[in-house]
Amino acid sequence: MKLFYDFHIHSCLSPCGDEDSTPNNIVNMALIKGLHAIALSDHNTGKNCPAAIAVGQKNGLVVLPAMELATSEDIHILCLFERYEDLCKLERHIQTTRLRVRNKPEIFGRQRILDENDQCIGEEEDLLIVSSGVSVEEAAALVRGFGGIAVPAHVDKQSNGLIGVLGAFDYGLGFEMIECREDVGVRLPRIVDSDAHYLWDISEAEHCIEAETCSAHGVFSALKAMCGR
């Protein structure tokens, strides 16, 4: 079956994410847009994924647990998972390597952790938009080792895109898929996402994958198949 997707959406846990980007608002907006599957991908954390997954389950939207990892070179890597437990392993790993800088909410924005009723259950105190300490050389194998897929995000963007930062795409880094709006000549499967920091930026039903079932397992299996696994 054809499933319309947007695998790169930020919530209010990202300092740069809008306060209105709560789990319920994101899921409802994705449904209004006609999507079947999304991934919640905050900077260097997955702590709002449990709420978004629960809201998605109640409303018939597949929500993949994810995070947008910032490598030590400040390259953004979208890390997609099937299971939240696997994402947590990555999060625990980067908690020991991440630069510890206290967030200044008045400058960078708040970093709110919400439950499935959009109630605030905590606030992340360390700034999330700093380097994870993971280098771009180790990212693909590290994420794959935890059961995920590492996808260089917005590769053509000057800031934080792999080609933008390194100057060219290096196949030796071991990535199996890229995220990009336009075809930039990289010979890997490509997904197109919104990188929405505001609800209204979430993708329309434009880009789809072919999956066996409309479930986290079905969607993740389809992504793995695109990667040739």
List contacts with Zn ion (CB under 5 A).
68, 76, 153, 160, 195
Q: Nearer Cβ to Zn ion, position 21 or 25?
A: 21
User: 22 to each of 4, 16, 40, 111, 116, how far by Cα in Å?
Assistant: 21, 13, 11, 11, 9
Least distance CB 154 / Zn ion (angstroms):
6
**DSSP code per residue over the chain:** -EEEEEEEE--TTSTTS-TT--HHHHHHHHHHTT-SEEEEEEETB-TTHHHHHHHHHHHT-EEEEEEEEE-TT--EEEEE-S-HHHHHHHHHHHHTTS---B--HHHH---EEE-TTS-EEEE--B-SSS--S--HHHHHHHHHHTT-EEEE-STT-TTT-HHHHHSS--GGG----EE-SS--S-SS-EE----BSSGGGSPPTT-EEE-SSSSHHHHHHHHHHHTT-
Task: Name the residue with the smallest CB distance to Zn ion.
Answer: 76
**Side chain identity, residue 74:** D
Least distance CB 163 / Zn ion (angstroms):
13
Query: CA-CA distance, 226 to 192, in Å (whole number)?
Result: 14
Least distance CB 159 / Zn ion (angstroms):
8
Q: Nearer Cβ to Zn ion, position 25 or 71?
A: 71
Least distance CB 60 / Zn ion (angstroms):
25
CA terminus-to-terminus distance, the chain: 19
Least distance CB 58 / Zn ion (angstroms):
25
Q: Nearer Cβ to Zn ion, position 173 or 211?
A: 173
Least distance CB 228 / Zn ion (angstroms):
25
Q: Nearer Cβ to Zn ion, position 179 or 211?
A: 179
Least distance CB 65 / Zn ion (angstroms):
15
Q: Nearer Cβ to Zn ion, position 29 or 211?
A: 29
Q: Nearer Cβ to Zn ion, position 57 or 181?
A: 181
Q: Nearer Cβ to Zn ion, position 76 or 190?
A: 76
